[in-house]
Structure 1
């Protein structure tokens, strides 16, 4: 059976492509991102996928068709940045803030895939009182697609992270595809009781991280031997690129004052949980709770998201585990923002969780 051909726009480190690969039956024939370091990460982990470092707005129609070898593209996936949309009434105007989204629409219109998947931040739904979402749907309807959209919580699809994402699926075949049904839920929710035996419990931080090498401030390695798995999730994400190894388990060093602050912060707590003399004006620092899925992994997980058992921020590997990347999925780039390109932290924090992408891929496969 032939593979379902896919193009990944704004691919970043490759979370979307990774999830579609895990679903089986898909082949990404082109991936595009403007950041060199992210493309290096993508190419290393997907060596058989053509990936180019380019601004999508620089790719003209003839070049795009040549890059895809004039193949019939069945699926386009991607999540262009959508902060600060500019509207005129209920219409997206030709404003630089709208450029990347309009380029996404342009490429979908050129390739005319059977289905596209558009992923973004949940704040898009309420932007300008919902007018931005209305305008986005109008743009896709204009080029011939039936639209379904909603908010999916990554934890409901086996990701050990409560990461809500806006997902919009378009189909050219005059049918609304809808969104994938959850596979996981919290142990105390009503839906868990209703679907007992069908839904699995959410994966917790403790289940995700418990077998990683224990390291302190400034310790760790870029490559290390993997530990024996302790549960099904840890077995699932061991990977098949370099079995038995994991990458990017290296911690940054904090000052004594910061270590003291993190040491006093309880699991599930934040700055407000600390004694007065240890508090700062920065309130968005949180310590993970081992008994629940992680909060949303941002690009600042070395300073803002504290390890549940160690008084430090997360490593790239720990954050990648919480994003559901395989242990042998290797990220390249600096750990600090002094670099010209995206850091490892940016690549992990910006990624689509592969297991969420896999659920979406399995869902749309039924319509292809």
Structure 2
């Protein structure tokens, strides 16, 4: 028996494959499904769609906000803010950060020779960056979750992420994939208590898309938690210095774009005025007030659109905040993910409440809480996990159909 065991060939199978290969296979399969959905949506696009009846998958990939990134890549940022007929700042490039468009431009340079195909070189580079960064984000998410949960659960969580309702973001010319890569790397390093690379990752996050102020809040909460637990979990002075310095760096990076926009345009409020231009069609309020966007949005949705009453909306909003807080504090599957993940989710949701105006983009903006897929994947039932995957795919098609096949510009159907 012993001799047979010694000479028996090594076991082969799915679980024996390297993690990078397993996640890669799942990611490629998910991208194939999403591509099919996009092709079908292009075939279903009608005259009411912003993409027209002759829509193609290429027009989808480089549509919506990808056009703003294209303008940045080829022309940079305006030094004079565009104004509406009433003298208010209109939508412009300052709402979008520079890392993604310029990286896409660099990656697209080798594809200049493909101009004869009708695909702009920058567009090819943008799609390549999104797809590659998406795979790497899936892999890092898997590594993050493996520190807390077993291999099957972490693998299913990565699959849910790769095939989730927002999976089209891994294809289109948006900065989300790249931001998620920097974010997951940063959270993983905090879990491992290896802080050095964060001095590079935080600026990369901050200049890829908005959200680094949420990471500053996360670092502050993480530092408080480590201080409270220092008797049972040692907190060396070196780590205190890193946590404080990185938190300050995240704050500086988070506000630096406003300063740069102001210096370039001569208007101190250039960035905030640009951001507010996108919500002007929905609300008439002027200026930015923290948490004001959600208050105004709740009144709009529950009062003027759904006609169920503003007070009802405020009650629902408050109840939702309390419910999420209770889940993060007490739900056993979420607790399995570790305090770092829960603190990040709480920090990011507070950030959204503080700065965002709720409309259909909320689904896209919730993607940074994707580590929660680890908790969703924990129940061991295969039937349950397959059902979750099916719901993910249904949600993905629903989002693609509404945002691209229908694709009008109403504020409740904007990706």
Q: Normalized against structure 2, the TM-score is what?
A: 0.26
- Select the structure of larger CA radius of gyration: 2
Q: Report the structure, 1 or 2, having the larger strand content.
A: 1
Q: Report the structure, 1 or 2, having the larger helix content.
A: 2
